[in-house]
Amino acid sequence: SQKIEQNSEALNIQEGKTATLTCNYTNYSPAYLQWYRQDPGRGPVFLLLIRENEKEKRKERLKVTFDTTLKQSLFHITASQPADSATYLCAPPDSGAGSYQLTFGKGTKLSVIP
Amino acid sequence: GAVVSQHPSWVICKSGTSVKIECRSLDFQATTMFWYRQFPKQSLMLMATSNEGSKATYEQGVEKDKFLINHASLTLSTLTVTSAHPEDSSFYICSARTVGDQPQHFGDGTRLSIL
């Protein structure tokens, strides 16, 4: 199965700055990787999916990159706002090509300070 | 689109009671549904995967006689925690997906507290 490491448990940044969250995986290269947002007491909400042949994916203020050489995905939030404060989860498939079960990291709790 | 409804959102009951949690995909047909358990400050742990009309596949260490899963239709899956005990208290979350590498869409979870 896949092992996930998200760079830090908590990240505090000033409003307006860019937040960068890191996700490293250690076993096989996933065919794709998903990022979710989770608020306290709620289920995760899907944000972005990036495939192995895509270097970068964007959605509004969000950007995800996927580096299969480094076995790493970076998640960026530009012009961060206090409403972006949440836990962000990285989730590649649990095993190789064709798998649809996801392995979730522990997440990074982002706090955007006004 | 892609809304998943989970009910109830919280349950408090006595030890020995059985509790049923429902998970519905409201605007899409879910080929596969998943059930997760999450402890405070921990990641989501997959309990089981279910496909419509077939038996659920349980992860290692999850008692299938304890956690009964039924996926009767393409829009409904249920998790029944049988004879619940305090150690079963947790946050249970379901998700649903269609086909291919499409994302999972999650319900809002059920907070289960067993006294």
- The residues of A whose Cβ lies within 8 A of any Cβ of B are 31-32, 34, 36, 41-46, 49, 51, 89, 93-94, 100-102, 104-107
Helix (H) / strand (E) element for A109: namely strand A108-113
pLDDT at A99: 58
- Measured between CA atoms, the residue of chain B closest to residue A89 is B43
Q: What is the pLDDT of residues B11-48, one digit of tens each?
A: 999 999 999 999 999 999 988 999 999 998 888 999 99
Number of A to B CB contacts under 8 A, please give it: 50
Model confidence at A105, pLDDT cuts 50, 70, 90, reads confident
- Phi first, then psi: give them for residue A37, nearest 5 degrees: -115, 135
Q: Read off the tokens for B6.
A: 């989970």
- The answer to whether the beta carbons of residues A104 and A51 sit under 8 Å apart is no
For chain A, the average pLDDT equals 90
- The answer to whether the beta carbons of residues A91 and A30 sit under 8 Å apart is no
Mark yes or no for CB contact B101/A49 under 8 Å: yes
What distance in Å separates the CA atoms of residue B61 and residue B15, rounded to the nearest whole number? 21
SS3 A114: coil
Residue whose C-alpha is closest to residue B34's, from B111, B92, B113, B100: B92
Indicate whether A69 pLDDT > 80.
yes
Order across the sheet with A4-6: list the strands: A4-6, A19-25, A72-77, A62-67, A56-59
Q: Residue A99: which residues within 8 A CB-CB, separation 6 or more?
A: A93
